[in-house]
Amino acid sequence: MSRENRGLGKGLSAVLGESAPAVDQLRKPVGYLNKEIVGTRPRQDSSDIFRIPMEMIEANPFQPRMSFDQESLDELAASIRSLGLIQPITVRKISNAKYQIISGERRFKACRMAGMAMIPAYVRDTNDQGMLEMAIVENVQRENLDPIETAVSYRRLIEECNLTQDQMADRLGKKRATVANMLRLLKLPVKVQHDLKVGELSVGHAKVILGVDDSTVQEQLCDLVLAEGLNVRQLEAVVRKIQLGHKLTGGRKRKEAAPLPDSYGRLAGCMGKFFAKDISVRRSSTGKGTLTINFSSDGEIDRFLEALENVQA
């Protein structure tokens, strides 16, 4: 008896029939249906997921992350509009009508951008110290913190949660030497920490610079890396010479930034018509850079957006 060829190699329509819906139509947003938070509730199991009104949730005052990438937030909000929130946030109850985020502030911000009225959440019982520890550990393990944010988070675990380096390393699942090396970054001069934070200096460079005790020489070494593009091995060679008694010649300065083309000044002038605060433009010699707009109200954004839409029309 012959079997009808079902055409499994011809795609989804061959399996489900010509009337099969598109994949996007099959992919429904995730939903959490078990409970909603309204007023006082008896204690529930920690595995329960509740749907909590957004207005009943406040931000985490212990949030280690100092900034959130707007483009990344926009992408997450778009995903949530389409698929729902895949991973619930975690909160603690601080009153009958108020909850505080333990972890998931980025997800919370994206849900608010997506226009959600309710957000799925785990509710944990914890005090301030327990909350701080959970928030820091969760962020260090899961979020893309820069090296200085990570080091500050480690220091907070030690100072505010009364942990030793060994205890902290155990909670983070890291070696004690790794923890100690990250904490040492906070001993660097402010200028060097800044360059490390914004990505102009690598952690490898910073560890080599820490091999010199003099803070002035540390700053000069940082400037030398930026001015001449030294890699870590080249920097190690310079530090070895210093340790053998050689002086860093002349304390070289960073290359002066190339003058910006006139078009950049015109752009800043146009933007300044809509925004009262400073607008900064930073450009590398390759033409790559950043444009930073500081605004003081939603009205400035609305006026700027209206002008853009009128141009496009």
* DSSP 8-state symbol, 102: E
Average pLDDT over residues 49-62: 86
Average pLDDT over residues 200-215: 91
Taking only the tens place, the pLDDT of each residue in 122-177 is 887 777 677 767 777 777 776 567 888 888 878 877 876 778 888 888 888 888 89
- What's the confidence (pLDDT) of residue 227? 85
Catalytic residues: 105
Q: Which of 13-17, 123-127, 209-213 has the highest mean pLDDT?
A: 209-213
Please tell me the distance from the alpha carbon of residue 212 to that of residue 263, in angstroms, as a whole number: 43
Please state the φ and ψ torsions of residue 162, each to the nearest 5 degrees. 55, 45
Count of Cβ atoms closer than 10 Å to residue 49 Cβ: 15
Please tell me the distance from the alpha carbon of residue 219 to that of residue 207, in angstroms, as a whole number: 13
Long-range pairs for 126-131: beta carbons < 8 A, 24 or more residues apart: 126/92, 126/102, 128/62, 129/160, 129/161, 131/60, 131/62, 131/92, 131/100, 131/102
Which strands make up the sheet holding 49-53, listed edge to edge?
A: 35-36, 49-53, 118-124, 89-95, 98-103, 57-58
Closest C-alpha among 91, 93, 105 to residue 63: 105
- What's the confidence (pLDDT) of residue 63? 67
297 versus 58: which is more confidently predicted?
Answer: 58
Is residue 16 over pLDDT 50? no
- Range with lowest mean pLDDT among 69-73, 229-233, 256-260: 256-260
